[in-house]
Structure 1
Amino acid sequence: MIKVLIVFGTRPEAIKMAPIVKEFQKFPDLFNLKICVTAQHREMLDQVLTFFEIQPDYDLNLMKPGQNLFQLTGDIIMGMKPILENFVPDYVLVHGDTTTSMAAAMAAFYSQAKVCHIEAGLRTFNKQSPFPEEMNRQLTGRIADLHFAPTETSRQNLVRENIDVQNIYVTGNTVIDALFIAQEKLKGYDDQEIIHLKSILTPGKRVILVTGHRRENFGDGFINICNALKLIAEDKNVEVIYPVHLNPNVQKPVNEILGGITNVHLIDPLGYPAFSWLMAKSYFIITDSGGVQEEAPSLGKPVLVMRNNTERPEAVEAGTVKLVGTNFDVIVEEANKLLREEDTYNEMSKAHNPYGDGTAAQKIINALKDGKRG
């Protein structure tokens, strides 16, 4: 029996790892599966675990107020040590670009377990943007034994870094698997957040969903973003809904500039079910999130990305995403095009999603199940 340890700690990781957990659970005679959460994010992580009905075997519960990257990295490595010594996994699966993924991969390497990197090969080639995610993913990639790349572009990035092509698998992104699972579960599903959203949204208005949290946008970047949204909201046929990140660097400019505008709803961060529901209800999305760039095209939603570069260039090339940075004029111009030019909207909303068809988890498990294990 193959012993597999899946490690994640944040909400995005949990969403993208959930389909893999579910797929492994179909083969209890072949895989001895254990799940470890670091709880780098606590409450948001738990919401996803509940929604997807996942029960961790190990919970490091590491989230602390004011925690910095030095402390978190050390706590993860030391927290993983007894788990790895006790369970002795053959494979440790980590995801993407979080501090949890990088530190767990390092701990697995120290314990001589093979590391499988889900969502491997994404690159901006700028170690400061996004920070610290770009270096997290590059370091994890150097440690990993098997690389599950979401796209051909990601595979090529790894090949250029001299990764053995026999250990790279192009699978699509598991976030699409998760989205399809969620949309099915949401049929007839109402939680308090969804009920609240239904109560504040005005039927017939075009909903613009906004999310923003990147460190590189703190300061003038968020001020520009908020001023652009304020101008866009002057169109009274538009309704802006913005789940505001709890970081004070985000809260302050958002509330100062957008607070009190009748068709701008500043709400608390949403759980995954409500956010998935809201994406499906939106007309288009303005975000600096990586995951949203992958999910929204499967729902036919154009995305304006408030970043100057992206580790997901496939979406830009496919036409589902446009980079607008934090430039006030560009954000306003591109938003107005989507609102007023039907051809522009249709071109983006009907473009092919380059991130897969919802079978990524199956491909990942098959690579291990069929004995292709590096």
Structure 2
Amino acid sequence: MAYTVMMVFGTRPEAIKMAPLARVLRHWPEVDLRICSTGQHREMLEQVLTAFGLKVDQDLQVMTQNQTLNGLSRDLLDKLDRAYEQVKPDIVLVHGDTTTSFIASLAAFHRHIPIGHVEAGLRTGNLQQPWPEEANRRLTGVLADLHFTPTRDSDANLIREGVPPEHVEVTGNTVIDALLWMRDKLQRDNWRPAPESPLKVLRDDQRMVLITGHRRENFGSGFERICLALAELALRYPDVQFVYPVHLNPQVQHAVYSVLSGRDNIHLVAPQDYPHFVWLMNRAHIILTDSGGVQEEAPALGKPVLVLRKVTERPAVLKGGTVKLVGTLTERIVHETSQLLDDPAAYARMARVFTPFGDGHASERIAERLTRWFADQSAARDNA
């Protein structure tokens, strides 16, 4: 008997982290997998699916111009309810901390459909940091039936909150599955950016600093301070290349281009597809980011990471010493980046491989736990 598993995601990071699990479940004999895209990051999402050879079964196309989170939530709830009515899944899988994850869980809960939460249990303890992700993750955790956690710390968070231990499985993080698979593929293929790529201008004989930024809590003054720091660093280090794939959000675009355009050693490029981005991370000397996923990926590649946030829900990376929280103050960003560029000893302390999020086989562990869960549900029905 095949069980219908419906995987729901809508953003680029969700797709990257769910893609290796989808690849495993596509070939799992007990599973009939249906992929549902809400389309929160439509263009970037399609790039990821293409990179992993995946196609969506349902595309809800919920995004509209100038959409608020409440408007997005309303549309998601309505369209997901209709999707569940059509597919009738035995379980819904969601990922992490997006609005898609929470609303997909709420819509499933209203229909008495079990929920599996991938990358569960991460916490900062502050509902405003990151916003709204911390709330989305906690609310999803309240509704979920199965919790697939990346680390023992995440497992402990859920147990403290009253989740029964038998409902929690420490699997590692599927982002490491995706990263290692893509890195190895690029190396096997001797992959390089295409001739038309804006990355072709990068010089192999110069160090490169990679920057990403998109967090809502940094909108406004936070992004302005980050950009001022990058401008100062570019002036101070003319022989260092600064590469910034600029998120499509208009608030990010305005802040970045108004401050950083026209500087010779700052390369403002469009968001890169996953193969290009993995190549960039592997090529980088230092990474500055406010991304959660990059905090997990970069240490696995041995890259020092300066996190442009006040808090992180991934304390394991801080314990390893390969990631440092620097916030959004211009002076602090300039100081910490300069130290890594100027001090070989300081750089060496952070530039080492550290993988607290697993060995690249999280997807197989999740699939195996789902198989046991299906067997338990079947036995319970037979004994009812």
Q: TM-score range by the shorter chain?
A: over 0.9
Q: Which runs of 5+ in 2 are unaligned?
A: 378-384
Partner of 2:105 in structure 1? 105
- 1:195 positional shift: 5.0
SS in 2 for 1:370: helix
Question: Does 1:317 find its partner at 2:323?
Answer: no
Partner of 1:116 in structure 2? 116
Question: Does 1:272 find its partner at 2:238?
Answer: no
- 1:319 positional shift: 1.0
d(CA) in 2 for partners of 1:33, 1:14:
15
d(CA) in 1 for partners of 2:331, 2:135:
31
- 1:190 positional shift: 5.6
Equivalent pair of 1:77/1:107 in contact (CA under 8 Å): yes
Provide the alpha-carbon RMSD of the alignment: 1.7
Equivalent pair of 1:194/1:274 in contact (CA under 8 Å): no
Percent identity for Structure 1 against Structure 2: 49
With over 3 angstroms needed to count, the CA separation of the structure-2 counterparts of 1:192 and 1:320, relative to structure 1, is closer
- 1:191 positional shift: 8.1
Partner of 1:295 in structure 2? 297
The aligned amino acid for 2:333 is I
d(CA) in 2 for partners of 1:124, 1:139:
14
The aligned amino acid for 1:242 is Y
Partner of 2:83 in structure 1? 83
SS in 2 for 1:240: strand
Question: Does 1:69 find its partner at 2:64?
Answer: no
d(CA) in 2 for partners of 1:373, 1:256:
57
Equivalent pair of 2:94/2:116 in contact (CA under 8 Å): yes
Partner of 2:232 in structure 1? 231
d(CA) in 1 for partners of 2:174, 2:153:
16
Question: Does 1:222 find its partner at 2:215?
Answer: no
SS in 1 for 2:85: helix
TM superposition score normalised by structure 1: 0.95
Partner of 1:356 in structure 2? 358
Equivalent pair of 1:146/1:373 in contact (CA under 8 Å): no
Partner of 1:131 in structure 2? 131
d(CA) in 2 for partners of 1:126, 1:163:
20
Partner of 1:13 in structure 2? 14
d(CA) in 2 for partners of 1:55, 1:124:
34
SS in 2 for 1:116: strand
d(CA) in 1 for partners of 2:297, 2:194:
20
Return 75-84 or 117-126, whichever deviates more. 75-84
Partner of 1:162 in structure 2? 162
Equivalent pair of 1:10/1:41 in contact (CA under 8 Å): yes
With over 3 angstroms needed to count, the CA separation of the structure-2 counterparts of 1:306 and 1:106, relative to structure 1, is same
Question: Paired residue for 2:343, among 337, 341, 344?
Answer: 341
1:242-282 deviation per Cα after TM superposition (whole angstroms, max 9, x unaligned)? 11123332223322322221111111121222111111111
1:294-319 deviation per Cα after TM superposition (whole angstroms, max 9, x unaligned)? 00011111100000001111101111
Equivalent pair of 1:208/1:285 in contact (CA under 8 Å): yes
- 1:174 positional shift: 0.4
SS in 1 for 2:92: strand
1:159-308 equivalences under 5 Å are 159-187=159-187, 188=189, 195-233=196-234, 234-308=236-310
Equivalent pair of 1:367/1:373 in contact (CA under 8 Å): no
The aligned amino acid for 2:328 is T
Q: Which runs of 5+ in 1 are unaligned?
A: none
- 1:57 positional shift: 1.3
With over 3 angstroms needed to count, the CA separation of the structure-2 counterparts of 1:103 and 1:189, relative to structure 1, is farther
With over 3 angstroms needed to count, the CA separation of the structure-2 counterparts of 1:330 and 1:195, relative to structure 1, is same
SS in 1 for 2:172: coil
The aligned amino acid for 2:241 is E
